[in-house]
Structure 1
Amino acid sequence: MSRRIPADCVLPDPAAVRTVRSADGAELNVEEYGPAGAPLVVLAHGWTCSTAFWAPVVNRLAADFRVVAYDQRGHGRSPAPAGPAGYATAKLAEDLEAVLTATVPEGRRAVVVGHSMGGMTIMAAGDRPAVAARTAANVLVNTGPGALIAELTVLPPAVRAKVLRRFLHRQILRSRLPLGPVTGLTRAALKYATMGPATPADRVEACAQVVHACPAKVRFHWATVLDTLDVQDGLAKLTAPTAVIAGSHDRLTPPVHARRIAAALADPRGLLELPGTGHMSPLERPAEVAAEIRRVAALVAAEPPTAEAVTAEAPTAEAATAAPLTAEPLEETA
């Protein structure tokens, strides 16, 4: 029997739900919260998560923002790709472009927030004019542009040999085994690997319920992509104002990644390091994460749009022949 989770870890009823079709035909579940016409925030979750991961942040923003959250391919209600070719950082970038095209009206822009693999998605899309045209600012949370295995600190310091550490980390992350039911042991392991030491038990439970819902096959294929991740080029091409959030106790993407990202940004707007916090900042410290999103939104609302946001470049020949980005009819909910 599942333990109770905090009230703020339950998503409110969405204002609208739609299915967005990406360039290769992949279907993405997209949920919208808050008043239509309000300032836009788009949320991209991380590896093994879903829109449910963002519940504490959605609950803190939806009164004043139109919050768009989508399930990355293979996660939540978005179907898994048919084969390995559907798992790639380029596909994540295509999906983000499709979601922004479908949910951000022409002439408007959104604050785009990515946690973990969601942040990597934003960086992977750094060279896409259609994404830049609809982005007012970015917030990159608990993420990194590459060298993920090399910087992991999941294993204890006693395992000192770098080669052995990398090998063992790789075996852990790329396991094909199902996580099984949530138990006391799996909660303890998840808390150790992904959350700060003082995280309350009910928030660990909320995290476990989200992560355990991810299919083992999907977890494995995306872990394979993350193993060799390199989105440095995309990071260098991000032109929108961008803020970075890190957790001081993040074992999966330690703060060294956040510092590298901040140093590489064309328009950095702050690096917030949350003390005592692990990899799951939006669940562990949702008030601070939501406040930072609000700060960035207010910051860019007072500024004129960049040249990239005003005019998108003409599509390439490859883009012109790609499958169209489409959205199924919007389903408004009561």
Structure 2
Amino acid sequence: MTDLTRIALSTGVELDVQLAGQEDAPAVILLHGFPESHRTWRDIVPDLARDHRVVAPDQRGYARSSKPPQVEDYAPDRIVADLLALADALGIGRFTLVGHDWGGAVAWMAALGHPDRIGRLVIVNAPHPLVFQRSLFDDPAQRAASQYITRFRDTGLDKGLVGAGLERFFATSFAQHITGVIGGADKAAYLDEWSQPGAMTAMLNWYRASQIIVPAPGEEPPRPAFLDAAFPPVTQPTLVIWGTQDKALLPVQLEGLDALVPDLTIECVDAGHFVPWQNPAAVAAAMRRWNI
């Protein structure tokens, strides 16, 4: 079991954090997504720690980190604030930021809002906010694939996510997206994290606090003006690692990305959505080719 350090942040939450590498090495912070934890990176941390200071938190709402009670406590700006407060608490100024899934969504927002802190950006199967919202209006296949977000926003879901309900959630919302069998100690670790008091509600609150609009199939809601207006570029060198078998985030998420990210490298790898889990060697190799 990974040793974690409990860190109290100026944002009012406490996070469990995996720390590795030398403190005087270049810093890299790794942000997991839903429904995981720092364990997302378990096969990647050892490689990075050879020549980096590695920081991999359990983000707010996950595992045994703090779980504030209100939906608005999980708004994206609160999560970005946690990231910067964590860097501050560890005395880290400028750093490389890596994010998968929801962690990648936070990473996009942090890079856009705080170029003074984030020097380089690595995104693993997480859509750019403009590309994603645009695709939910313009691409019927992506809209259909994203209907799970509406399901996750239903608070009636929470009461069934205990005991056998967690087993079903594991099978239908996680394990089916993993190539190969997942069980034993790995399954036990996830069920333990999800069984922490308030964990499932807190994790799902990330979806409920998000402002992303997910129209129903065939619906024609008012189109947000920002979808067709100028959008600020991501100024950092950015590596996007994309698992090509992702059934939730389709290849449309890579279309037009170069116009929004001028210094962009894309590496496609053979994996589904949970790329760091399924093909960690390819993720580590892509980062090393990009000189991390």
TM range (shorter): 0.7 to 0.9
Matched, 1:111 2:99: no
Aligned residues: 268
Offset, 1:271: 0.8
- 1:61 is matched with which residue? 48
One-letter amino acid of the counterpart of residue 82, structure 1: P
- 1:35 is matched with which residue? 22
Matched, 1:273 2:268: yes
One-letter amino acid of the counterpart of residue 254, structure 1: L
Conserved 8 A contact 2:69-2:202: no
Matched, 1:86 2:82: no
One-letter amino acid of the counterpart of residue 133, structure 2: A
- 2:122 is matched with which residue? 139
RMSD of equivalent CA atoms: 3.6
> What stretches of structure 1 of length at least 5 have no aligned partner?
1-9, 154-159, 299-334
Q: Deviations over 1:237-258 (max 9, x none)?
A: 4211011011111122223223
What is the TM-score of this pair, normalised by structure 2? Answer: 0.76
> What stretches of structure 2 of length at least 5 have no aligned partner?
214-223
One-letter amino acid of the counterpart of residue 244, structure 1: V
Structure 1 distance, partners of 2:192, 2:232, is: 34
Q: Secondary structure at the match of 2:16?
A: strand
The one of 214, 218, 221 equivalent to 2:202 is 218
Offset, 1:104: 5.0
What is the TM-score of this pair, normalised by structure 1? Answer: 0.68
Structure 2 distance, partners of 1:112, 1:71, is: 15
Structure 2 distance, partners of 1:203, 1:255, is: 29
Q: Deviations over 1:184-215 (max 9, x none)?
A: 894365333x33xxx22147973784377332
Offset, 1:287: 0.8
Offset, 1:291: 1.8
Structure 2 distance, partners of 1:208, 1:169, is: 25
Structure 2 distance, partners of 1:262, 1:204, is: 41
Identical positions, percent: 28
Structure 1 distance, partners of 2:101, 2:255, is: 15
Offset, 1:165: 7.2
Offset, 1:286: 0.5
Q: Secondary structure at the match of 1:201?
A: coil
Offset, 1:220: 2.5
Superposition pairs for residues 250-289 of structure 1, below 5 Å? Answer: 250-268=246-264, 270-275=265-270, 277-289=271-283
More contact order relative to length (CA 8 Å, sep ≥ 6): 1
